[in-house]
Amino acid sequence: MKGIILDGYALNPGDLSYEGLLSLADFTVRDFTSPDEVYDLCRDKEIVITNKVPFDRDLISRLPQLKYIGVTATGYNIIDTEAAREHQIAVTNIPAYSTDAVAQHVFAFILSISNQIDLHNRSVKAGDWDRSPAFCYWKAPLFELRDKTLGIIGLGNIGRQTARIALSFGMKVLSCSPHSVMEGVRSVTLDEIFSDCDIITLHCPLTEATRALVNEEQLQKVRKKVILINASRGPLVDPNAVIKALDEGKVSYYCADVLETEPPNNDRLAMHPKSVITPHIAWAPKETRERLLGILIENLESYLNGGKLNRIV
């Protein structure tokens, strides 16, 4: 069978081996693929591996050889799944591969603010410590996590791991989620998350119900300055509402690994002095990508053997 990896660079910029995948089919490997190349590259392929390259109804209808699409991510909104079903094309995704990495990234955000490591590192390198009359100094308030209240919106795998880490720091943890609660975590309403928490972190899927979940109405309920973290989906927040809350001091920092538009192209929220933005790398530790690649291989192997491992369609 002939296959193609359309945008492999993010998964494997050269530090992983495709050997296990290449043993399953005759693959062409592309680091990047532009939209105008997709049809010509895929028209004779039975297997396509994609991360961000979309497959809409029109494209799917013009690829009669295509039998399998492997999405190298948990979200699969880039695929018109109804069209894939109509054309009897199998679609798989990669669930629960990045739980530890994303929860770790959330706490990297939190600790970067609580201890202001980057600010003080830059200060020392600028000579401020040499000039200080005191044996130590701090250029911004520092705070302990113990007894701070963390609000988690969405208590799936990542939300639960985030809660476990928070509890180990001695934090109080509240959650608003359709999932059942876990030991040490108190279930509350969305309004209580915004009114009662020191830090709020988003771990829910993007649906029509959750789009702009963080909006001006909700942010008006904040009673103390909060740190807002989004390592889930960019459109979960209304960027204008968050900018306003940052300017008013209701939100002290907005930390995000995801944006409504990526890359940001001078996005106002991304460039705000009180935002801390990383370029969608919560999933990028080598061990996490190795796990993703392993699941990708298992998915394809299952399909070739008549199985349905991680089948969406």
Determine whether 262 is an active site residue.
yes
Q: How far is the CA of 277 from the CAs of 112, 204, 270, in angstroms?
A: 12, 19, 6
Determine whether 233 is an active site residue.
yes
Q: How far apart are CA 124 and CA 122, in angstroms?
A: 6
Backbone angles phi, psi at 86, to 5 degrees: -60, -35
What is the token pair recorded at 297? 């291989």
Catalytic residue among 37, 86, 144, 262: 262
Catalytic residue among 233, 272, 289, 291: 233
Q: Are 248 and 241 in contact (CB under 8 A)?
A: no
Q: How many CB atoms lie within 10 A of CB 31?
A: 14
CA 33 to chain centre: 22
SS3 at position 82: helix
Catalytic residue among 280, 290, 301, 311: 280
Enter the DSSP assignment of 249: T
Q: How far apart are CA 116 and CA 2, in angstroms?
A: 51
Q: How far apart are CA 205 and CA 145, in angstroms?
A: 27
> Catalytic positions, please?
233, 262, 280
